[in-house]
Amino acid sequence: MRKKVLLLLLLLVLAAACFIPVTLQKSTIIKYSFLNTYSLLAKPLKWEQWRPELRKALNNDSDKIIIQRDSSAFTITYKGLKFIVKPKGNSFDINEQADGKTTDYSFAMVPVPDKFLNKTIVSVEQKTNAINYLAGKLAPSSFLNDRLNELKTYVETDSLLYGFNIFKTGVPESFLIVTQKEVSNGEKFTVAAKLLAALQQFVKTNNIKQMQPVIAQFNQNLKDSTQVKVGFFINKEVKTGNGIEFNRMPKGGPLYAVRFKGEFSKRGKAYDALKQYFADHSHQLVILPIETYLDNKLPVNDNDTVDIQVNFGTFPSGNGASK
């Protein structure tokens, strides 16, 4: 009789445990502002970028990603994967269906209160019961960690977030000669070649040495006008004239750069990446961007393939926010 009572009590405890609510939570700090992090979860097009399955599909299967919206939620469907996302203040309730399994969880976030406000505490919560909680202790699930790491990896990997590897570099030499001319857009490549030839002749005539690949700027001023500037870093100070200028540069001054190889007309993607990087990290652009032509050749037309490093200059550490 006593055994039956104990067994009954055990069954009652187990049954009750099925209804005892337990919340599982994992948190991490990511190096991204609160507003930007919120945007990643609030916009379905951002989900396509940070969720690995959807990002992979964008390359060759984007037409199979289906987005639906209503007044309180949006749904993203791709093959056997489905997300129902409901914004809720500073958090988001997620219903995720994958591989025939449905999981409910939520993201919550708060800004890290430092002076830059460029980091966010992100938490993932999943409601379960005591039985599942205890079972998870015996066979831990990586689900919550996976969701956090997917978001953290995306925002802290420049090639994923910005489309390019962004690296910090510096002004390579102290001495620079440049020549420039404002021309119509149709003349920019022809004029750039003439400016380059003038610099090459100046270097030869004055017995100085070109220390780095040619640099250039093609700055469109008006609808039909471009300011073309071509320059060389050289090994010593010189006297100039005939349209050639000498500049003393702050060698080592901080630059952030990306490498772009492709059609000249499409290099704007590299500029967009650096502009967004500067905005995200509170850097101030202090000079017009400079293009370093790594093969020491200027383009001959908009469709010409170029191999360039696009450089954005900012203040030294201490005068502006750092990464």
User: pLDDT digit string (tens) for 173-216?
Assistant: 999 999 999 999 999 999 999 999 999 999 999 999 999 999 99
The whole-number average pLDDT for the span 159-180 is 95
pLDDT at 228 over 90: yes
**In 3D, which of 76, 49, 50, 52 has the Cα closest to residue 64?**
76
User: What does the mean pLDDT of the chain come to?
Assistant: 88
What CATH number has the domain bearing residue 105? 3.30.530.20
Residues 144 and 178 in one domain: no
Residues 183 and 229 in one domain: yes
- The domain of 195 spans 167-313
> Using 50, 70 and 90 to split pLDDT, how confident is the model at 13?
very low
Q: Comparing 11 with 196, which gets the higher pLDDT?
A: 196
pLDDT at 26 over 70: yes
To the nearest 10°, report the CA torsion of 13, 15, 20, 25: 100
Angle, CA of 198, 201 and 202, to the nearest 5°: 85
Inside any domain, residue 233: yes
User: How many CA atoms within 13 Å lie on the side-chain side of 322?
Assistant: 6
Residues 100 and 174 in one domain: no
pLDDT at 46 over 70: yes
In the prediction, which pLDDT does 320 show? 41
Structure token digits, residue 190:
């022809």
Total number of domains constituting the chain? 2
Chain centroid to CA 149: how far?
16
Inside any domain, residue 83: yes
Least confident of 18-27, 53-62, 155-164: 18-27
- CB contact set of 138 (below 8 Å; sequence gap of 6+): none
User: pLDDT digit string (tens) for 257-287?
Assistant: 999 999 999 999 999 999 999 998 889 998 8
pLDDT at 235 over 90: yes
Domain final residue, candidates 104, 125, 156: 156
